[in-house]
Amino acid sequence: MSDLRLEAAVGLVLRIGVAASAVCLAAGLGLSMLLSAAGPAHFLLNAGLIILMATPVGRVVISVGEYALERDWLFVVLTTIVLCELAAGVFAAVR
């Protein structure tokens, strides 16, 4: 069953996202607090936060692809709607 494959792929995306954002946030926090290295710290902290927020979005993107491969069009539509709503959030944020 391909839902198994989707579950494994989602798990992988989440694990990578959690680890990458934690590393960036810890390094950024350490730099800004201990060495007051403002530039690199600012970059790492924002990278960490963006990876953190991109992780759930990434697993929605993967789901759209997986359901498309399965030709499960109802779920392609549903996951695409979620993606559009997330895009609307980004739009509301930068406006």
Partner 1 sequence: MPPVTAAIALVIFGAGALAGSLGALLGIGGGVFLVPFLTLVLNFPFTAAAAISLTTVIATSSAVSAGRTGKHLINLRLGMVLEVATVAGSLLGAVTAQHLRQATLERVFGVVAAVVAVIMVTRMRRRNVMLDPAADPGVLGGRYYEDESSGTVTYRVRRLPIALGASFVAGNVSSLLGIGGGVIKVPALNAWCGVPLRAAAATSAFMIGVTATSGAVVYYGHGQLNAPLAAAAVLGVQVGSWSGLRIGARTQAKWLKLLMAVVLLIVSALMFVRGNQ
Under the criterion CB under 8 A, does residue 5 sit at the interface with partner 1?
no
User: CA Rg, the chain, in Å?
Assistant: 17
Classify residue 37 as left (phi > 0), alpha (psi -120 to 50) or beta. Answer: beta
Residues 15-74 that bind partner 1 (CB under 8 A): 15, 17-18, 21-22, 25-26, 28-29, 32-34, 41-42, 45-46, 48-49, 52-53, 55-57, 59-60, 63
CB of 33 to partner 1, least distance (A): 4
- CA–CA distances in Å: residue 40 to residues 19, 24, 30, 32, 67: 19, 11, 11, 8, 40
Q: Does 7 bind partner 1 (CB under 8 A)?
A: yes
Smallest gap, in angstroms, from Cβ of residue 65 to partner 1? 13
